[in-house]
DNA sequence: CGGAATCCTCTTCGATACTG
DNA sequence: CAGTATCGAAGAGGATTCCG
């Protein structure tokens, strides 16, 4: 094994990039921030990575203590972040926040996964609008379920269906993208045509929308 | 010119990394956050980059609107960040903050430049301790002068000697590293032995130190 | 079938040499 | 000083194969 390439600078940014600055690495962390993932799950969300590279990255992340394998007692073995790895979230949110202006409207043929909303929504979350709120908003986008829990002016997100919620939004990915991502479909229209199914409190849904810049999600 | 490699994902983090995720790019941005820099300055602060790569990165950053060349009317032509580029600062600070645990004490033979303090100090700044303060702390580390301006609970940094200041710390890089970076020399001892020269208010200097985690800088 | 190791080709990097 | 040119070395990407 060749001596890993590094910047040789006594600077915490350079050190951080020595660890997670290689191609794909931060995207792997992004996907693991949404929850534990198996090798195959990661492959599916990272088209083009190549099996060897993903394996190498995971091994490196494991060796450096950012990723661990879930306890075999649980269902399928999977990769998940350690506490150290999870602490990267603010940095990823900051980068995602910066990168929002690069999301041009015509989506082209890029991949889009509902699980990326965890990061995208944290980047767009307006904490000052959440004061005093304590609500849970559930989403079902295609077969991917997640929820937003707003409490203490903070946004916590999770996967799956929460035990209780103020409202539940059910949509297929295509209309979701059109309404909340590229804005090519009006929210009103989606609701009228049944592409957006809302269960629970209409007012909670409106409050949810208000927590993010333009629209919500 | 081959079509630039990109992740092909509709995700603002992936888009951000398409732009600034390549090797060296964020370190170039870091150095430009401290102030305008000429080609040579950047080369000196990025040992190992190779002239062609630096040229390629700068060209790319210029094309994508993160970097511009300073107006020729000023002294030497230099590279500097655009507004878009400067907005990367919070993301770099967040990454640098995360990376602090990687700064082991024995510094080895890594490069260290005083200008990296701009980022390092922003990463370590404790905003809650700055409430009500409005002070300027000047530093002269070797031949590099910079200052910290704490106002409105925020930390603003700049290069050069500020027109006024509450205190001025003068040190050579080696003792500075020992005292403030790797902790191998006690602050008291440095002051007593004249390695740290303090001009102005001793109390202001103590307040300055209090604004950062362990020690100050 | 999920999780990799292997092979091979292509691109990028890094170091040095060279030019305006 | 500010880059361009060149070339060997390292890394990335894709397919295939192996292992459990």
Exposed e or buried b per residue across A117-140, where buried means at least 16 C-beta atoms within 10 angstroms of its C-beta: bbbbbbbbbeeeebeebebbbbbb
Q: What is the mean pLDDT of residues A6-31?
A: 96
- Write down the pLDDT at residue B105: 72
Q: What is the mean pLDDT of residues A99-108?
A: 84
Contact: A9, B112; criterion CB under 8 Å: yes
Contact: A13, B84; criterion CB under 8 Å: no
Q: What is the mean pLDDT of residues A50-54?
A: 91
- Write down the pLDDT at residue B63: 94
Residues of B in contact with A13 (CB under 8 A): 26-27, 30, 92, 95-96, 99, 116, 119
In sequence order, which residues have a C-beta less than 8 Å from that of residue B144 and are 6 or more positions away? B113, B114, B115, B159
- Write down the pLDDT at residue A1: 46
Mean pLDDT of chain A: 91
How near does any CA of chain A get to the CA of B199, in Å?
Answer: 28
Cβ contacts below 8 Å, chain A against chain B, sum to: 158
Nucleotide showing the shortest C1' distance to residue B76 CA: D1
Cα nearest neighbour of A83 on chain B: B98
Packed helices A89-98 and B89-98: angle between N→C axes, nearest 10 degrees? 170
- Write down the pLDDT at residue B141: 97
Closest residue, CA to C1' of D15: A50
* Covered bases, chain C (protein CB within 7 Å): 1-7, 11-17
Q: Please tell me the distance from the alpha carbon of residue B153 to that of residue B127, in angstroms, as a whole number.
A: 6
Protein CA at A66 to nucleotide C1' at D15, angstroms: 30
pLDDT one-digit tens code per residue, A125-138: 999 999 999 999 99
Contact: A10, B100; criterion CB under 8 Å: no
Residues of A in contact with B84 (CB under 8 A): 101
Residues whose C-beta lies under 7 Å from strand C: A 5, 38-41, 51-52, 55-56, 58-59, 76-78; B 2, 4-5, 22-24, 48-53, 56
User: Which residue in A16, A95, A111 is closest to B8 by CB distance?
Assistant: A111
Contact: A90, B98; criterion CB under 8 Å: yes
- Write down the pLDDT at residue A197: 96
Q: Is the pLDDT of residue A2 over 80?
A: no
Please tell me the pTM assigned to this model: 0.93
Q: What are residue A149's DSSP bridge partners?
A: A136, A156
Residues whose C-beta lies under 7 Å from strand D: A 2, 4-5, 22-24, 48-53, 56; B 5, 38-41, 50-52, 55, 58-59, 76-78
pLDDT one-digit tens code per residue, A81-101: 999 999 999 999 999 999 999
pLDDT one-digit tens code per residue, A154-212: 999 999 999 999 999 999 999 999 999 888 899 999 999 999 999 999 999 999 999 99
Protein CA at A9 to nucleotide C1' at D7, angstroms: 27
Least confident of A2-16, A62-76, A202-216: A62-76
Protein CA at B33 to nucleotide C1' at C19, angstroms: 31
Contact: A99, B13; criterion CB under 8 Å: yes
- Write down the pLDDT at residue B215: 52
Nucleotide showing the shortest C1' distance to residue B78 CA: D2
Q: What is the mean pLDDT of residues A130-151?
A: 96
* Covered bases, chain D (protein CB within 7 Å): 1-7, 10-16
Residue from A4, A9, A32, A105 whose CB has the most chain B CBs within 10 Å, to mutate: A9
Low-confidence ranges of chain B (pLDDT < 70): 1-3, 71-76, 106, 214-217
Q: Please tell me the distance from the alpha carbon of residue B67 to that of residue A172, in angstroms, as a whole number.
A: 40
């Amino acid at each position: 094994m060749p001596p890993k390439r590094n910047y040789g600078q006594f600077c915490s940014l350079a050190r951080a990039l020595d660890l997670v600055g290689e191609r794909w690495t931060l995207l792997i962390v992004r996907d693991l921030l949404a929850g534990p993932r198996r090798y195959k799950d990661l492959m599916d969300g990272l088209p083009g990575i190549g099996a060897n590279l993903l394996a190498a990255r995971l091994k490196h992340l494991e060796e450096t203590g950012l990723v661990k394998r879930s306890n075999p007692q649980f269902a399928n073995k999977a990769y998940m972040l350690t506490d150290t790895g999870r602490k990267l979230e603010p940095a990823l949110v900051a980068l995602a926040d910066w990168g929002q202006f690069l999301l041009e409207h015509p989506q082209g043929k890029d991949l889009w996964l509902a699980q990326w909303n965890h990061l995208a929504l944290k980047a767009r979350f307006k904490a000052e609008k959440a004061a005093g709120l304590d609500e849970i908003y559930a989403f079902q986008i295609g077969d991917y379920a997640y929820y937003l829990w707003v409490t203490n002016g903070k946004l916590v997100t999770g996967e799956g269906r929460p035990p209780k919620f103020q409202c539940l939004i059910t949509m297929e990915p295509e209309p979701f993208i059109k309404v909340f991502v590229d804005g090519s479909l009006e929210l009103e229209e989606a609701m009228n045509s049944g592409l957006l199914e809302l269960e629970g409190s209409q007012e909670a849904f409106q409050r949810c929308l208000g927590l993010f810049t333009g629209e919500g999600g």
